[in-house]
A and B are shown apart, each in its own frame.
Chain A
């Protein structure tokens, strides 16, 4: 039960960074094939938004991650260095392996998008 903490439920029910960006520079979507969660992240001028559908853990984590990235003005380099441990620190809950995938999907989307931007 501990995984449905107030901060998770709050970000899930009232996400700050959920939505589309009109004429986004880049968009990246990934799906978790085992559960059907789908997350897209769009960016334009260092601003990010996420969309998609999924469980409370994946959606809340996406919102918490984007809030962290935007509020702290992380550089691409810093974002690309984020790891599983950073995500768990941010969301402050312990997860079993199956649900860990839900929590790590947003970071994977974000990092893959940035890696693609850097290549261009």
Chain B
């Protein structure tokens, strides 16, 4: 099984000058792309390339159909009720900016409160900061406990009639914490608040059902789920999307344009101004098919066993501090007592061809909270192996030899 999955990713057979295979442990940044996805994209460009919704010739009609089929595949994947609820964007970041501008502009007023958490990626923080500054609204942050979980008691006390939005990540890209979004959404609804889930980190690892979560909005990026760069999704409940004004203006999003005044197209096109990333949507649909064929039960089982194995190995090293809860997604951030994360990542790369990431991982408030400037992070995908984790551990030993005190 693992062997046939790895075969889909030729990059995993590439070797460095020392003859070591790539151990790619930076999947939280972006995943590698399987051959089926790459082939579908190049096939689209070779055989079906035309702009959507515009031509009456067959090629354009085919392209439109392919694009809309991709939308339906996304709809089924997250179990959205209607196809119009799936809006294509350039990625999670654009999805959140769309939301902050199109929804936030009309729904957030002075003294309103927006609840976020202390573990947000900058892309689910900065757009809300700007909105809050503009409107005179207030940001509140659900604190994290010592073991890296959201403090639910504090959250429940934060909620009030002033709460207009609760926006949070499903899975922390640093701590690996899996947040209980069903519970959080349910509590927010009691106060009539709108809810947004940033699923960028969970979409490739956990099955998502937007009707079950019952959130109003949810976003993710294709490139973190074995799909291409430059494409993302914003899911929104139809009745809310219908009331929102467009976010960008131009072609395709309009119904009628006069010199002085225009009216807007139906959902989802109202939010898809200009030519879309059609090949990207094809790639995403293929990536979804790829994930579905493996199945989330298998994916979770494999990734959980990798996380568990890595946690066990890392915690045996007395010089290493791991951040976050013991039960977690496939993300582990840690620091070393006497090796700076950047030096560690550089040596892991040079000595073992193990790709890890070091820094604040676009979550500076979180880094401050846990009291570190930077951490070294490993994050797993469906193709990773225990042997790669053994090489991670060997690389850490090499680094310790270089930096021994």
Residues of A whose CB lies within 8 Å of any CB of B are 1, 3-4, 9, 13, 34-38, 53-57, 99, 102
Contacts and interface: CB of A to CB of B under 8 A. Distances in A.
B interface, size bucket: 10 to 19
B340 A1 contact: no
B342 A4 contact: no
Nearest to B345: A55
A1 B18 CA distance: 12
B402 A54 contact: no
Contacts of A55: 340-343
Contacts, number: 42
B405 interface: yes
Nearest to A1: B350
A10 to B, nearest CB: 12
Given A13-B403, A53-B340, 16 more contacts: A3-B346, A4-B343, A4-B347, A4-B402, A9-B403, A34-B359, A35-B374, A36-B374, A37-B342, A54-B340, A55-B340, A55-B342, A56-B403, A57-B343, A99-B346, A102-B342
A1 B374 contact: no
A53 B342 contact: no
A36 B359 contact: yes
B189 to A, nearest CB: 38
A9 B401 CA distance: 12
A4 B374 CA distance: 20
29 contacts: A1-B347, A1-B350, A1-B351, A4-B343, A4-B346, A4-B347, A4-B402, A9-B402, A9-B403, A13-B403, A13-B405, A35-B342, A35-B359, A35-B360, A36-B367, A36-B373, A36-B374, A37-B342, A37-B373, A53-B340, A54-B340, A55-B341, A55-B342, A55-B343, A56-B340, A56-B343, A56-B403, A99-B342, A99-B346
A34 B359 CA distance: 7
Contacts of B373: 36-38, 53
Interface of B: 340-343, 346-347, 350-351, 358-360, 367, 373-374, 402-403, 405
Contacts of A35: 342, 358-360, 374
A54 B359 CA distance: 11
Contacts of B347: 1, 4
B281 to A, nearest CB: 31
Contacts of A4: 343, 346-347, 402
Best-buried of B340, B359, B374, B402 by chain A (most CB within 10 Å)? B340
A56 B367 CA distance: 20
B338 to A, nearest CB: 9
A84 B80 CA distance: 54
A9 B399 CA distance: 12
Nearest to A98: B342
Contacts of A9: 402-403
A30 B125 CA distance: 24
Contacts of A102: 342
Q: Which 3 A-B pairs have the closest CB atoms?
A: A36-B373, A55-B342, A55-B340
Contacts of B342: 35, 37, 54-55, 57, 99, 102
Contacts of A36: 359-360, 367, 373-374
A56 B346 CA distance: 11
Contacts of A34: 359
Contacts of B403: 9, 13, 56
